Structure 1
Amino acid sequence: MATSWYRRCALLSIIVCVNLTLIAYYTNSLFFNGTRMPLLFQNIPNKIKEIPRLFKRPPHFSRYFDRNCYHYDGLEARFICDGPYFHFTKERILDCVWKLWNTTRDPKEIDPWQNQAAHANVSASDVVTRPAIHIMFFGDSHTRYIFEVLVKRIASPDIKYRVASFKRDQWEDVYVMMAKRRQITHEDYHKVIHLGVPLKITYRWNAFLEELPSSLESWIAGKEPRPNFLLYGTALHFMKATRKVYRKFGAKTASEKYANQLKVLAPLVDEFAKTTPTVFKLLDHIQDHPQNSVENKDHIDLYNDIARETLAGDHAALWDSALPLSDIYNAECKKHFRHSQKTRLWICRDRRHIGFVMIEQYLDMYLNAICNKVPK
């Protein structure tokens, strides 16, 4: 009898503990002195939050950014939701651009790109003023890597490249600029144009996104031409900038600067995304290493949770389908420490970034979202 009574008490204690944990989560008290609860308990609410997603499919555009739409097998993510999914070769990317251009331009106006045969004699300064499909990347190096892979994939003699330090009309061959990558990493912006296709690609270095609110305001008000697509993301530099706060007061206090910046962005992003496909990329997990003691997985998950809660509007998409690939990549680096600086497929020595073997797949996820019209 005594044994049975003890078992009942133990079971009741477990039930009470779980219920208190769930209540604490939703009252934002899972953080004690800046420290998260043990993984056993902090994972429970996440599972509960995922239940509705099993019954409600994500919108067409964001479907490609939802991890529930992929099966992760080995080093690859396989799309399992409704709709097409492609590996985007250079030819497929340019074909997508033409289709986007023909569906977005005003048919009453003269098409400045209609005479394709003459583009060989066109200069970059002539083309840069033309309207075109404009894909913009805004944020830190994790965003820049996707930009770099896109530029690399469409590279040809028709692609011209310039960075902020150049004079206004000084454009370089894309292959020259790719070779200079290390010298131009943190320039304010990188601009890429195609001489014969209506395509512009811009990367804006803005690790804290402090310039994005004013850009969004200008685009919304029509003071500046808005891009056709916007991909932005940040977090890692906020962690690095608040290391002392993290070590003294804990993760939650250190994350307040990041949370406040996203609160400023949230209403502007939601308004902008009503008419322009907009994506916030959650931060990849990076390698577990002493040099990344502040940028650890739990801290990254905290920042990603803040982004989910703050930026979960009705129009913009949150990108989390890349996260499992970053975990796979880090596990592979732990098993087989590879570093190919030339191709950057594997850059295991760079413990704060993911190699291009995964970034190539990130780009396909993004291009499928841009280019595919998923049936309802």
Structure 2
Amino acid sequence: MCKKGSQPAVRTSFLVFLALSLALLPLLATVPKDSFQPEVLQGLRRFPVPQALQIRDPIFKKGCYDYENVTATNVCCKMKRYDFPDVAKCVQAFNATRNFRKSLFNPQHVNSSSKEIINIVFVGDSHMRYLFAAASLRLASPLLRFRNRKDMKWKDGVRALRRMRSQRFLLTVLETKHLALPVRVTYFADFFLEGIPRLMDLWEKGEEIEPTVVVMDSGLHFMTKRPDRKAIPYEKSLKSLAPHFTRLAATVPVYYKLTDDLQASRRSIHNFSLYYTKLYNEIAVRELQGTGVTLWDSTLPLSVQYNDACTKVNRNTPPLFHWKCNDLSHLGYIVVEQFADMVYNAVCNKYLGLGEGYCGQEERTLV
């Protein structure tokens, strides 16, 4: 039993506790219920994720760019325009930081699954294939090779990649390599990202070359092949993939590109619509929070400006198709090339000694 003189102190302590509890209630209400489940907490302890990467990466956030005349200019940090000499220097510097072995420059070793190979991996639909083509052509030289793995035959890379811009491809794996540099660019066609768990298994077993960075998208084929007014199939897909994304992002940078504005969506063609574009992007932002995956939305205003321009003037410029206004479900390479530059700035800036102020100077660190 408390002494009579201690009752005011007890009452004061209780009032302080009650005030703090009431202040915390609004904060607790914003925490997802799933966050308190044991398996979720265990997963977070096993794969600690720097969530700040998802909201502060200046290369992939639209808030860090000014957009004018279908051109994105980063105002948070300096961006570099990449060409072949820059990529070659990046690859060499990358290897120097990883016990680089000269034997890797021998063409017969470039096919190995060595971790010293830079391998930029794109996974998803045809928009990732366009980005694969743009990123691969930054390696343009007589020693660049390309293959559709279904054919298993390496071809002249520059010619094949330029021809790709007017071609359609069946589901397959596309690859480029350089005979004098240990670098790969790989595209895995996976419209619903259903193959991600299997692909991760192949990387871990060394049956596929491990990625240095993974760029992916999804959503458009859910709109057309699995349509649902509330986008429930898309939401379920991301929920089921979230643990795999978390595990992958704990080892390499992973960038998930949101769905761009398309002419087909503006015209509500083939189940595309602006309503679905907005809804699917909102779902992706919500479901990928806390996975360690960097959300990529800096392409969205560029796509809007590109389609605005196509609405005014129907431009088509073969063979490189910087403008491809006749293609209602894709974007021209005038914007896709800028997407590729964003990827290369993220992958390579830290290896070029560019000085202060450039984007992506710090190594990604998980603590």
Same fold, TM-score > 0.5, yes or no: yes
Q: What's the counterpart of residue 40 of structure 1?
A: none
Gaps of 5+ in 2: 1-29, 31-50, 351-359, 363-367
Q: What's the counterpart of residue 300 of structure 2?
A: 323
Give, in angstroms, the shift of residue 336 of structure 1: 1.2
CA distance in 2, matches of 1:305, 1:332: 26
Q: What's the counterpart of residue 242 of structure 1?
A: 226
Q: Is 1:332 the counterpart of 2:309 in the alignment?
A: yes
Please, which of 254, 263, 280 is the counterpart of residue 239 of structure 2? 263
Q: What's the counterpart of residue 344 of structure 1?
A: 321
Change over 3 Å in CA distance of 1:369–1:92 after alignment to 2: same
Give, in angstroms, the shift of residue 240 of structure 1: 0.5
Q: Which amino acid in structure 2 is aligned with residue 205 of structure 1?
A: A
Q: What's the counterpart of residue 152 of structure 1?
A: 137
Change over 3 Å in CA distance of 1:308–1:130 after alignment to 2: closer
Q: Is residue 61–residue 370 contact of structure 1 (8 Å, CA) maintained in 2?
A: no
| Percent of paired sites with the same residue | 31
Change over 3 Å in CA distance of 1:220–1:261 after alignment to 2: farther
Please, which of 320, 330, 333 is the counterpart of residue 356 of structure 1? 333
Q: What's the counterpart of residue 3 of structure 1?
A: none
Q: Which amino acid in structure 1 is aligned with residue 158 of structure 2?
A: Y
Q: What's the counterpart of residue 38 of structure 2?
A: none
Q: What's the counterpart of residue 62 of structure 2?
A: 67
Q: Is residue 325–residue 358 contact of structure 1 (8 Å, CA) maintained in 2?
A: yes
RMSD: 2.7
Q: Is residue 258–residue 295 contact of structure 2 (8 Å, CA) maintained in 1?
A: yes
Give, in angstroms, the shift of residue 234 of structure 1: 1.4
Give, in angstroms, the shift of residue 184 of structure 1: 6.1
CA distance in 1, matches of 2:162, 2:71: 28
Give, in angstroms, the shift of residue 221 of structure 1: 6.9
CA distance in 1, matches of 2:56, 2:120: 15
Q: Is residue 67–residue 320 contact of structure 1 (8 Å, CA) maintained in 2?
A: yes
CA distance in 2, matches of 1:238, 1:59: 24
Q: Is 1:106 the counterpart of 2:99 in the alignment?
A: yes
Q: Is residue 191–residue 201 contact of structure 1 (8 Å, CA) maintained in 2?
A: yes
Q: Is residue 119–residue 209 contact of structure 2 (8 Å, CA) maintained in 1?
A: no
CA distance in 2, matches of 1:209, 1:99: 32
Out of 326-335 and 305-314, give the one that drifted further.
305-314
Out of 221-230 and 71-80, give the one that drifted further.
221-230
- Residue 136 of structure 1: SS of its match in structure 2? strand
- Residue 63 of structure 1: SS of its match in structure 2? coil
* Alignment of structure 1 residues 128-147 onto 2, 5 Å: 128-129=111-112, 131=114, 132-147=117-132
Q: Is residue 145–residue 154 contact of structure 2 (8 Å, CA) maintained in 1?
A: yes
CA distance in 2, matches of 1:220, 1:126: 20
TM-score scaled by structure 1?
0.73
Aligned residues: 302
Out of 64-73 and 149-158, give the one that drifted further.
149-158
Q: Is residue 80–residue 341 contact of structure 2 (8 Å, CA) maintained in 1?
A: yes
Give, in angstroms, the shift of residue 58 of structure 1: 5.1
Please, which of 159, 171, 194 is the counterpart of residue 178 of structure 2? 194
Q: What's the counterpart of residue 40 of structure 2?
A: none
Gaps of 5+ in 1: 1-25, 27-55
Q: Is residue 325–residue 332 contact of structure 2 (8 Å, CA) maintained in 1?
A: yes
Q: Is 1:372 the counterpart of 2:349 in the alignment?
A: yes
Give, in angstroms, the shift of residue 338 of structure 1: 0.7
Give, in angstroms, the shift of residue 177 of structure 1: 2.0
Give, in angstroms, the shift of residue 289 of structure 1: 4.7
Q: Which amino acid in structure 1 is aligned with residue 103 of structure 2?
A: P
Q: Is residue 103–residue 109 contact of structure 2 (8 Å, CA) maintained in 1?
A: no
CA distance in 1, matches of 2:283, 2:333: 27
* Alignment of structure 1 residues 3-22 onto 2, 5 Å: none
* Alignment of structure 1 residues 247-326 onto 2, 5 Å: 251-252=229-230, 255-287=231-263, 288-290=265-267, 292=269, 294-326=271-303
